[in-house]
Amino acid sequence: MITRVLLAFVLLTPPALADQAPGTVEQAPCPVVMPARTTCGFLVVPERRDAPGGRSIKVGYAVHASAARDRKSDPVVYMSGGPGSASMQLTGFLSQMFPDRDVVAVEQRGSKYSEPTLGCPETAEAMLNRLREPSAEVGTEEVGTEEVGTAAARCAERLRQQGVDLRGYNTKEIAADVAELRGTLGYAAWNLFGVSYSTRVMADVAAADPAGTRSLVLDSYLPESVSWYDDADRNLAGTVAALGVGDRFEAMVRRLDAAPARAPVTDPLRGEVFTARLTGGDVATILAEALQESDVTAVAPAMIDALGGGGDELLRPLADAVGGALVSHEFGLYHAVQCQDEVPFNKFPTKSRLFTVNGDKAVCDAWKLPRSKPVNALPKAPALVLGGQYDPTTPPRTSRPAAAKLPDARFVEIPGAGHAVFLADACARRHIVAFVENPAADLKGNPAPCTTPPYPRLNPGDLHVSAAPYRISLSPWPAVPFALFALVSLVQLVGYAWRGRAVAAFAGLAGVAFTGLAGSAVWNLIGRNESALAVGLPASVVPYTWVAAGSAALTLTALVIKREWQLLIAAVTAAVFLVWWFAWVL
């Protein structure tokens, strides 16, 4: 059943497009919070440059003007990946990276801040439906894939009825938009910055507009020569093997394929929790997405080890991450690009265990868009290519040799990182800034090579596996026993120390010590990597349990010595806390 929110989104009348001639700009309010000295607007372009006389569409962009006295004349122009991800929300972050340059954030045509926006909630809903308990009971993965294809056909028909020509949404047209924007804004040259999918766009722009390209930054490089879908399973297997948990990963997949687990999952489209049925292939797919984040990569050894050992309580935070992925892209644009520029160039020799791979192929089989002509771009501008050591999407295995084929490129691998390394790693950002400052310089040793991972690695044994921290992050109410124990212990310490009652005061002191030690350990873990709480508690917290047990024992002893209602409350609170701690947390 499609929800009211989903129906409203699907049935909204598309915004009226501008009447201006292609090649003009239209000022507009910024759709997100921006730093001072930022203006936003639309570049009006043809929907299809290969079909003159068609309609025009709007490509969103933002320009942050540097206030630096030594402002450079060549800005940095940035585009997010996807395809279908938004870019403007990173304007402030990028302006801090490049304070002496203007920053231009350009959207992809059809993305969130362009017009029209090519959303496709039908396929997002279908991808979630295949995880739902009722549909999973009906049949097999193939049934779910067929549902995705049917949903995609509905989405394509709706977009066509809105006047959208899906053939105009591909890498060639997106690259042409970027090149046209430079001339329209009046920049003689600029520095291109792409990440993931948009590295392919920016490489095409640099090749087509060499005079306007001063330098080229390619973070998590996805070259045209790579068959991404054919490589997807191998990329994931390579990442988990490099993390040292390949055997545990395969054990987890086999176990869940034989006996799928059930886990509560939050539906981002409906805003409700449903029970998902997760096979090994489902969890592998979710991990392939989750491991793109460097903070998740850092806790993956502990997480996958726990999953391999039967720790199904960790499936909810993983499955909830699917929701974020489903609302982070405009899937109509994503499908249009993939179906023209990526899927046709893959062979799909065997059925993938990743349902996203199978789902994308089902979409493209339904959409039947024409295969694009390879560009084979060979940009001559100086290029800096960065790759994350554990990137499961554009691994160094493919991005490093692709960088070596560029005429003037250098490759930097970021240890311990996943995908889109500039967002997670300060050392990666220093390399990018130094390169843009002087693209022709030999950067060996300046800045210093990246040797420290962006997040400390957490191995099996570093964490006590527990679903409690993640549940508390969703709602603080389950943590009430801990808060009451801490409060009662503090009152007990102060009150009985003042009255000279040593046993009762020491009981309060032990309770305060426990809550302080446990709270400090958890706080330190959050400071190092908040995502670790999706796996459990710091292992050091477990021995502290005996301090809490000692507090309860001393309180009971003090109650036996002198029966007081205050001590009775303290004893009951300690008992309730210990039951909660052992039964729910540990």
Q: What is the CATH number of the domain that holds 94?
A: 3.40.50.1820
| Residue 16 domain flag | no
Handedness of CA 224, 226, 228, 230 (dihedral sign): positive
Angle of the 294-308 helix axis to the 246-258 helix axis, nearest 10: 60
Please check whether residue 6 lies inside any domain of the structure. Answer: no
Among 367, 395, 422, where does a domain finish? 367
Looking at the structure, do residues 387 and 533 belong to the same domain, yes or no?
A: no
CA 213 distance to own-chain centroid: 29
Asked if 306 and 407 sit in the same domain, the reply is: no
CA 194 to chain CA mean position, Å: 16
In order, the DSSP letters of 324-361 are HHHTSS-HHHHHHHHHHHTGGG----S--S-HHHHHHH
Instruction: Please check whether residues 351 and 278 belong to one and the same domain.
Output: yes
- The pLDDT of residue 139 is 44
Contact present, 280 and 310 (Cβ < 8 Å): no
Count of structural domains within the chain: 3
pLDDT at 323: 66
Whether residues 428 and 470 fall in one domain: no
How many other C-beta atoms lie within 10 A of the C-beta of residue 358? 23
Do 26 and 42 form a contact (C-beta atoms < 8 A)?
A: yes
Domain membership of residue 444 (yes or no) is no
Say whether both 153 and 216 belong to one domain. no
Question: What DSSP element (H or E) covers 197?
Answer: helix 197-208
Is the peptide bond preceding residue 46 cis, with omega within 30 degrees of 0? no
Whether 135 and 95 map to the same domain: the answer is no
331-341 helix and 121-129 helix, angle to the nearest 10 degrees: 90
Radius of gyration of the chain (CA): 27
Does the residue 304 lie in any domain?
yes
**Cα 215–379–375 angle (5° rounding)?**
140
d(CA 303, CA 311): 9
Q: What is the domain range of residue 247?
A: 121-160+229-367
- Ramachandran bin of 373, using left for φ above 0, alpha for ψ from -120 to 50, beta for the remaining angles: beta
- CB count in 10 Å sphere of residue 376: 9
Asked if the structure places residue 299 within a domain, the reply is yes
In whole angstroms, what is the distance from residue 454 CA to residue 426 CA?
A: 7
For residue 429, the tally of other CB atoms under 10 A from its CB is 20
The answer to the question of residue 18 being in a domain is no
Asked if residue 116 has a cis previous peptide bond (ω within 30° of 0), the answer is yes
Question: Which of 367, 402, 417 is a domain's end point?
Answer: 367
Identify whether residues 386 and 492 lie together within a single domain.
no
Q: Is 392 exposed, middle or buried (0-12, 13-18, 19+ CB in 10 A)?
A: buried
Per-residue pLDDT tens listing for the chain (586 residues): 333 333 333 333 344 444 555 568 999 999 999 999 999 999 999 999 998 888 999 999 999 999 999 999 999 999 999 899 999 999 999 999 999 999 999 999 999 999 999 999 888 888 887 777 654 444 444 446 778 889 999 999 999 999 999 999 999 999 999 999 999 999 999 999 999 999 999 999 999 999 999 999 999 999 988 999 999 999 999 999 999 999 999 999 999 999 998 888 877 767 778 888 889 999 999 999 999 999 999 999 999 999 888 888 888 888 777 666 666 789 999 999 999 999 999 999 888 999 899 999 999 999 999 999 988 888 999 999 999 999 999 999 999 999 999 999 999 999 999 999 999 999 999 999 999 999 987 766 678 889 999 999 999 899 999 999 989 988 889 999 999 999 999 999 998 888 888 999 999 999 999 999 999 999 999 999 999 999 999 999 999 999 999 999 999 998 898 888 889 999 999 999 999 999 999 8
- The CA angle 70-425-68, to the nearest 5 degrees, is 10
d(CA 533, CA 544): 18
Residue 458, domain member (yes or no) = no
At residue 209, φ and ψ (nearest 5 deg) are -130, 60
CB neighbour list of residue 216: distance below 8 Å, 6 or more residues apart? 191, 192, 202, 203, 206, 379, 381, 382, 383, 384
Q: Are 245 and 239 in contact (CB under 8 A)?
A: no
Q: Are both 379 and 493 inside the same structural domain?
A: no
Dist. CA 253–CA 308, nearest whole Å = 8
Interatomic CA distance for residues 3 and 311, integer angstroms: 33
The verdict on residue 17 lying in a domain is no
Residues 132 and 274 in one domain: yes
Taking alpha carbons only, the member of 233, 342, 221 closest to residue 288 is: 233
Does an H or E element contain 426, and which? helix 426-437
Whether residues 279 and 143 fall in one domain: yes
Q: What is the pLDDT of residue 16?
A: 43
Q: Let me know whether 397 and 475 are in one domain.
A: no
Last residue of a domain, one of 367, 384, 403: 367
Beta strands (DSSP E) in 197-260 are: 213-219
Question: Do 172 and 138 belong to one domain?
Answer: no
Strand ranges across the sheet with 76-79: 25-28, 38-46, 56-64, 103-106, 76-79, 190-195, 213-219, 383-388, 409-414
What is the C-alpha separation between 112 and 370, in angstroms, rounded? 24
| Secondary element (H or E) of residue 473 | helix 468-474
Tell me which long-range contacts 350-353 makes (C-beta under 8 A, separation of at least 24). Answer: 352/229, 352/232, 352/233, 353/233, 353/253, 353/280, 353/281, 353/284, 353/285
SS3 call for 193: strand
538 forms beta bridges with: 463
Using CA atoms, how far apart are residues 198 and 204, in angstroms rounded to an integer? 10
Task: Compute how many other C-beta atoms are within 10 angstroms of the C-beta atom of residue 430.
Answer: 16
Quick check: 51 and 13 in contact, CB under 8 A? no
3-class secondary structure per residue, 501-557: CHHHHHHHHHHHHHHHHHHHHHHHHHHHCHHHHHCEEEHHHHHHHHHHHHHHHHHHH
The predicted pLDDT at position 237 comes to: 95
